Amino acid sequence: MTTNAIDASTSALVLVDFQTRLMPAIHDAPNVVANALLLARAAQLLGIPVLGTEQNPAGLGPNVAEVRRACDRTLSKQRFDACADGLVEALRAARAGCEHVVVAGCEAHVCMMQTALGLLRAGMRVWVVEGASGSRRPSDHAAAMRRLAQANATLVTPEMVVFEWLRDSDHPKFRDVLALVKAAP
């Protein structure tokens, strides 16, 4: 089990498949998207790269506009595991020394889970944000979280992530990030 904190200086955020045609089917989608946007906006304030993925965008459409705008780069993919379509290389290009990856996305038990497992196989330390990940059925979401925890991904909440990135209230961006947290639903 991972016991060390997330290191903002070696972190990246990956937002998996928040696609326009998929989101209406996702359980509690408005909160899932809001949590993903909280993470992305905090990452932007802190200089942490944000990468998005889109599964077969010709069929499922692009990511929700707000999520797409929050990403520094969006990778189009055909495989469920984004690592098989170049995610690890994109993370290393986005941040030298990237070792810590915060992951959120849809569907939690398919593309998000397979991507997180791929990142673990690639030697990355992975934190999966439960409340920013969604599936059509809550039972699939719960099963994915159990499997990811067994695979040594660390399960976290959005606020756990942003406050670990900050480390303390003396951080120069603390008030800005706190405002994002307070404005979140």
pLDDT at residue number 3: 59
Is residue 1 assigned to a domain? no
Q: Are 48 and 15 in contact (CB under 8 A)?
A: no
Is residue 2 assigned to a domain? no
Is residue 69 assigned to a domain? yes
> Which whole-number Å values give the CA distances from 35 to 2, 104, 112, 151, 180, in the listed order?
23, 9, 15, 24, 11
User: Which residue range is the domain that position 168 belongs to?
Assistant: 8-183
Is residue 60 assigned to a domain? yes
pLDDT at 2 over 80: no
pLDDT at 129 over 90: yes
pLDDT tens digits, one per residue of 21-34: 999 999 999 999 99
Select from 28, 26, 74, 43 the least CA-distant residue to 162.
43
181/100 Cα distance (integer angstroms): 22
Q: Find where tokens 């992975």 sit.
A: 126
pLDDT tens digits, one per residue of 15-63: 999 999 999 999 999 999 999 999 999 999 999 999 999 999 999 999 9
40/119 Cα distance (integer angstroms): 19
- CATH code where residue 178 lies: 3.40.50.850
Please state the domain count of the chain: 1
